[in-house]
A and B are shown apart, each in its own frame.
Chain A
Amino acid sequence: MNIDGDNGIPDNDVVLTTRSRLARNLADHPFLNRASDMQSALVMQTAQRVLLDAPLSEKTLWMDLDELTPLDRSLLVERHLISRHHSESSLHRGVAISSDEHMSIMVNEEDHLRIQVIQRGSRLDETFEQLMRIDALLEQQLDYAFHDQWGYLSVCPTNVGTGIRFSVMVHLPALRITNELAKVQRAAKELHLVVRGYYGEGSESTGQIYQVSNQVTLGRTEEEIQEEFSKSIIPALIDYERSARNVLMKKNSMLLDDRIQRAYSVLCSARLLKVDEAMKLLSRVRLGASLGHVDCSIQTIDELLVQVQPAHLNQQAQSTLSDNDELEYRALIVRNTLSQQ
């Protein structure tokens, strides 16, 4: 079992990424649902100047989403650097991204600022620490909307107070096979957690990958929420999934191995692959990689999960692929990557 994680990424047999994010709004500016064109442009100009000026990361890139092609915007969505909502909105909007892609700050998404730090594996403490450092830097330059009773203000009552949201993206194939996922979802609900799909709000789960986040942002300190996530919620999710994997290994190891090897064989030989099929098969191979059943690193599979997405394929092919070409190119990328393992 892969407790230390492959390639030194902690707990990545179950945890793909951990993320901390803050919702922040500027004082004296209407929220975006009430802002005029000029007012949203003003928020963007104010934020852009500060984001490029403050030492937020070694190298920070600023992108005006209106100036990007739809393909470039989709690339950012597929890399989880902006949300689908941000990509598709018609407002003046932009994003600041650190060149290592750990930090992204969406301007004029639902709130004026959505600051996030994301890391591979279970590294919530690290992301939280970086997020607090970035927030402190921005607070020196920006006047945040703050209320004596409700703390940092947001357009949505679900984000007031700390404005902090922790998320962990977990791979739970064994819980799915053993039909225990519903139990986990019920427990999550009782703990006031929300379980979403691969692309967050409004998305379906693909390849048994789920995003689990806190719902309560008020009445507790940032540290209390973070500690519960780091010390209770993430370890519990990891334990549940690992226990289910152990049960499967003991009770039906041949059936499990058969599923993994079939998925691996299809990925190594398929000539045409749809994105959903690729995700489903990669999910099984990911389980195989974490159990040592296939000769492939978990990190390679995680990278493939992004590379098989439509915008990434089009970018890599450096042309606009037709639907059929996309299926062929996806299969080719997967075959080539797995054959190099």
Chain B
Amino acid sequence: MKCDLCNKPAVVHEVSINNGKKKEVHLCLEHAQAAGVAIPGQQPINKLLTKFVIGQSPKSTGKECPDCGITFAQIKRSNLIGCPGCYNAFRDSLGSLIEQAQYGASSHIGRVPNRKHTPSQFELRAKKLMNELDAAVTAEQYERAAILRDRLNKLSTEVQADEDEVQGGDGGS
């Protein structure tokens, strides 16, 4: 597929839904970078969907992080790591980058989390919705994705209301 703005092969594919209509944008690397990937002036759903539908450069031979899709070349260029998963995905290459930044230090000897965290209602429900959203996008069910996105947006208020109700109930008994 060619870039919408020139004849080069498109490497970034962005799909957006506006008023129920699907709109696709296909850009080559240069035009995608120039546009900052997330094209200005569109609905937030575009930014959300970008994560799931960014195509891979046909020329790319570097390994990608299975969690966030970043390559080590991108990390090296920006000096910014993509996600906690990158630390295992690029363990060897990152080791030397870290040693360089830390004047030769290579291992943590400081504090460690002292308690295994118990996920809150909010986190559990958010994670479930995110998984459903991921599945909806993979299956190209964009209207369902938009609904799930709205539910995620309202989640904080809903969980708060539930908690208030529980607390109110306890107080009355």
Interface residues of A (CB under 8 A from B): 25, 27-31, 33-34, 36-39, 41-42, 45-46, 48-49, 136, 139-147, 149-158, 160-162, 164, 192, 215-222
CB neighbours of B83 from chain A (8 A)? 29-31, 34
Produce 1/0 per residue, B15-56, CB < 8 A to A. Answer: 000000000000000000000001000001001111100000
A154 CA to B123 CA, complexed, in Å: 21
Distance to closest chain B CB from A134 (angstroms) = 13
Picked from B104, B113, B120, B159, the residue with its CB within 8 Å of the CB of A139 is B113
CB neighbours of A140 from chain B (8 A)? 115, 117
A147-B87, A221-B109 known; A216 and B103 CB under 8 Å?
Answer: yes
Interface size on B, residues (CB 8 A): 55
Judge if B140 is at the interface, Cβ distance under 8 Å.
no
> Which of B4-12, B149-157, B165-173 lies at the interface with chain A?
B149-157
Picked from A27, A33, A192, A216, the residue with its CB within 8 Å of the CB of B84 is A27
B51 with A39: CB separation less than 8 A:
yes
A38 with B149: CB separation less than 8 A:
yes
A157 with B84: CB separation less than 8 A:
no
The 3 closest A-B pairs by CB, nearest first: A219-B105, A151-B108, A37-B47
Distance to closest chain B CB from A100 (angstroms) = 26
Interface residues of B (CB under 8 A from A): 38, 44, 47-51, 67-70, 78-84, 87-88, 94, 97-98, 100-115, 117, 119-120, 122-123, 126-127, 130, 133, 149, 152-153, 155-156, 159-160
Picked from A49, A151, A157, A222, the residue with its CB within 8 Å of the CB of B81 is A157
Picked from A25, A142, A143, A219, the residue with its CB within 8 Å of the CB of B102 is A219
A144-B113, A221-B110 known; A33 and B80 CB under 8 Å?
Answer: yes
Picked from A25, A36, A141, A162, the residue with its CB within 8 Å of the CB of B47 is A36
Distance to closest chain A CB from B144 (angstroms) = 15
Give me 14 A-to-B residue pairs in the complex whose CB atoms sit less than 8 angstroms apart, sorted by A's number. A31-B80, A36-B48, A36-B49, A36-B50, A140-B117, A142-B117, A147-B84, A147-B108, A150-B87, A150-B107, A160-B98, A162-B110, A216-B103, A222-B111
Picked from B109, B117, B152, B160, the residue with its CB within 8 Å of the CB of A220 is B109
CB neighbours of B102 from chain A (8 A)? 157-158, 160-161, 216-219
CB neighbours of B82 from chain A (8 A)? 30-31, 33-34
Picked from B68, B80, B117, the residue with its CB within 8 Å of the CB of A141 is B117
CB neighbours of B78 from chain A (8 A)? 33
CB neighbours of B106 from chain A (8 A)? 149, 218-219
The closest CB in chain B to the CB of A139 belongs to B113
CB neighbours of A146 from chain B (8 A)? 112-113
A49 with B47: CB separation less than 8 A:
no
A152 CA to B111 CA, complexed, in Å: 9
Distance to closest chain A CB from B125 (angstroms) = 11
CB neighbours of A162 from chain B (8 A)? 108, 110-111
A38 CA to B160 CA, complexed, in Å: 19
CB neighbours of B98 from chain A (8 A)? 150, 157, 160, 218
B81 with A161: CB separation less than 8 A:
no
Picked from A36, A42, A49, A150, the residue with its CB within 8 Å of the CB of B108 is A150
Picked from A45, A156, A217, the residue with its CB within 8 Å of the CB of B80 is A156
